Amino acid sequence: MRISHLDRRSLLRGAALGGAGLSLANWFPAWAQPVSAGIVRPLPTVSGTDIALKIAHQMMTVDGRETHAIGVNGTIPAPLIRLKQGTRVRLSVTNDLDEDSSIHWHGLLVPAQFDGVPGISFPGIRPRSTFVYEFPIIQAGTYWYHSHSGLQEQMGHYGPIVIDPEGEDTVRYDREHVIVLSDHSPMHPHAIFLKLKQQAGYFNYQKQTLAGLLAGRDQPLKERMDWGKMRMDPTDVSDVTGSTYTFLVNGHGPRDNWTALFQPGERVRLRFINASAMTIFNVRIPGLPLTIVQADGQDVRPVTVDEFQITVAETFDVIVTPTDERAYTIVGEAVDRSGLARATLAPREGMAAGVPPLRSRPVATMKDMGMDMSGMDMSGASGGTIDLSKPDSGMAGMDHAAMGHDMAAGAAGAMAGMAPQAGAGMAGMDHSAMGGMNMRDPKNAPQVRMGPGVQTIAPMAMDRTGDPGQGLENVGHKVLVYRDLMALTRNPDIRAPDRAMEIHLTANMERYMWSFDGLKMSEVKAPIPFLKDERVRVTLVNDTMMSHPIHLHGHFFELVTGHGEYAPRKHTVNVLPGGKVTFDVTTDAVGDWAFHCHMLYHMHAGMMQVVSVRPRGDAA
């Protein structure tokens, strides 16, 4: 038996889940169950320069329920690997499975043959065999590792990495805790993928309803009908949801109440890692400001917020300074509000704080379809030239005479139907005006192969690095956005780009087909070519209505967000629906590297390609 999202919220409004006196039925969701006294258990840790890891089947228990999983050294998450910058590490990985496996060192700059992607950089680890990874540790920070074989990552094959700096740490703290966020389902990942292929919205239990329409919630009837004609579901925020997932902290469900200890007045460093397969989390600790000091293992100028969104495969290091001798709840709310990961920060074992109710789930807007004009600069025409010194901001700097008749006519029609209120964007728009807006115009993306795997091309995708993420626009407190991030020190390469390229993130969401530029991995004839030490500006355009965490192996890139020489350096970036992200990358690592969406089932369905970096003068 399942209870509705509305019933769950109503339940939590009347109850503080931190109290032990709440008696709930066994069939309530995990996050609504009574909690234990708290698990105060540090992550198993391995360290040194010679480390042995063993991948094997095992059982794991989440909130009292035992399920099959794949772990490393008998634990889920896999052991915390603690390394030292400036050393050289030898990692002997034994595969005890009956199938090939692998380990990718996410965010670590290693030689291509040790990057760990089967079929690209190495052959994989055969069953009952051992593969030795050996590489220098040239960086410090918070990272993680996971399988790149099949769907093993979903089954528990992931773990954290912390690399201590060679010299003094730029971050001052008294105590630290590693917080690994993830998602777990008792359903086999191949069964999950099959259900998504058969019915993309299978796990979405939060669709709009007649009762919601009559109560005045979500979209009015006219908008629902218009979206229906376009075969678009505005509640399709997450493919896999809390209907099958339990959201974990360090392998523990919300009922387990994993607990991190502190002493009042201490500066506590929380190293957040999103090791989930498919879940973007919104993280907050009610009652505590969060000071971001690192992103993707790279130092940033401290910025204090109340909440941040962490997409799949990102890491954020946060400093908190609790002064009161009381418990605080660490909340990792799923982006679609179908559940949450929960832990406790407390001065003593056995303490717990109240868990806030789930907030209303987001509903996609015209902005998420790439049809918002609030960011357009219609006065910025400059003969079609692009200023590479500035981030792309919607339509600024474009020769609008060259936009094409269909798009220009559609834009005029759309603006004619807009509501008069200032700052409305596309809200209040007469959606019948969308008839002039071609949602699949090849002129908007001439490099995209317009096959059955491309449902839409965003007519007016815009830079959304100043947006907080779906559902966080009006939460009433400070939420981190990418433009808040600035590198602590000057970037190592500040050259202007030698060239620019654009890559479209494409999909047919109804048929669960995912690709780059309309081509899934199996259809690509050749890698994306680069020369060593090129400086390239890459713009990612999201033509879909779902966020995509895009990860480039073997490199860091600098987000183009207006900070020049202090642009934040990242290895993974979230591209919001209907949005653009621009980054500059120096292709200094020779070899073949994976480039993909880190939503596991999107990658599995084809949203992946290979980047090939060749020495200059290499004719191969």
In the prediction, which pLDDT does 469 show?
92
Tell me the pLDDT band of 618, cut-offs 50, 70 and 90. Answer: low
Measured CA to CA in angstroms, residue 266 lies from 39, 41, 194, 299, 584 at distances of 21, 20, 48, 21, 38
Q: Which of 352-356, 416-420, 454-458, 610-614 has the lowest mean pLDDT?
A: 416-420
The average pLDDT across 436-448 equals 78
**Res. 222: pLDDT tops 80:** no
C-alpha torsion sign, points 188, 191, 197, 198: negative
Q: Are strands 268-274 and 462-463 parallel, antiparallel or unpaired?
A: unpaired
Highest mean pLDDT pick, 17-31, 393-407, 446-460, 514-528 = 514-528
**Res. 223: pLDDT tops 90:** no
Tell me the pLDDT band of 598, cut-offs 50, 70 and 90. Answer: very high
In the prediction, which pLDDT does 364 show?
73
**Res. 419: pLDDT tops 70:** no
Tell me the pLDDT band of 477, cut-offs 50, 70 and 90. Answer: very high
Highest mean pLDDT pick, 440-444, 446-450, 545-549 = 545-549
As given in the structure block, the two tokens for residue 252 are 């523990």
**Res. 299: pLDDT tops 60:** yes
565 vs 617 pLDDT, higher one: 565
In the prediction, which pLDDT does 396 show?
36
Nearest to 524 by CA among 99, 113, 119: 119
**Res. 439: pLDDT tops 60:** yes
Distance (Å, whole) CA 139 – CA 131: 23
Distance (Å, whole) CA 23 – CA 31: 13
The DSSP letter of residue 122 is B
The DSSP letter of residue 112 is G
Q: How far is CA 363 from the centre of its chain?
A: 18
Cα angle: 429, vertex 430, 433; to 5 degrees: 110
The backbone region for 564, taken as left when phi is positive above 0, alpha when psi lies in -120 to 50, beta otherwise, is left
Distance (Å, whole) CA 563 – CA 582: 13
Element (H, E) at 499: strand 499-508
The average pLDDT across 360-372 equals 78
Q: For the CA atoms of the chain, what is the radius of gyration?
A: 24
C-alpha torsion sign, points 360, 336, 280, 480: negative
Tell me the pLDDT band of 35, cut-offs 50, 70 and 90. Answer: low
Amino acid at 441: D
Compute the residue count for the chain: 620
* Phi, psi torsion values for 15, nearest 5 degrees: -145, 140
Exposure on the CB side of residue 293, measured as CA atoms within 13 A: 19
Average pLDDT of the chain to the nearest whole number: 85
Tell me the pLDDT band of 324, cut-offs 50, 70 and 90. Answer: very high
Q: How far is CA 112 from the centre of its chain?
A: 24
In the prediction, which pLDDT does 213 show?
65
**Res. 611: pLDDT tops 90:** yes
Q: Omega into 220 within 30° of 0, i.e. cis?
A: no
Distance (Å, whole) CA 127 – CA 99: 5
Alpha-carbon dihedral 118, 123, 126, 132, rounded to 10 degrees: -100
Nearest to 575 by CA among 546, 602, 600: 546
In the prediction, which pLDDT does 392 show?
43
Nearest to 290 by CA among 277, 300, 280: 300
Alpha-carbon dihedral 128, 133, 139, 142, rounded to 10 degrees: 0
Tell me the pLDDT band of 431, cut-offs 50, 70 and 90. Answer: very low
Q: Could you report the per-residue pLDDT of 76-107, keeping only the tens digit for each?
A: 999 999 999 999 999 999 999 999 999 999 99
Amino acid at 537: R
The average pLDDT across 208-223 equals 70
Alpha-carbon dihedral 577, 564, 609, 587, rounded to 10 degrees: 180
Measured CA to CA in angstroms, residue 497 lies from 100, 464, 565 at distances of 40, 21, 13
In the prediction, which pLDDT does 369 show?
73
The average pLDDT across 255-283 equals 97
Cβ–Cβ under 8 Å, residues 200 and 79: no
**Res. 31: pLDDT tops 50:** no
Highest mean pLDDT pick, 18-22, 63-67, 393-397 = 63-67
Cβ–Cβ under 8 Å, residues 234 and 363: yes
Cβ–Cβ under 8 Å, residues 141 and 82: no
Cβ–Cβ under 8 Å, residues 466 and 568: no
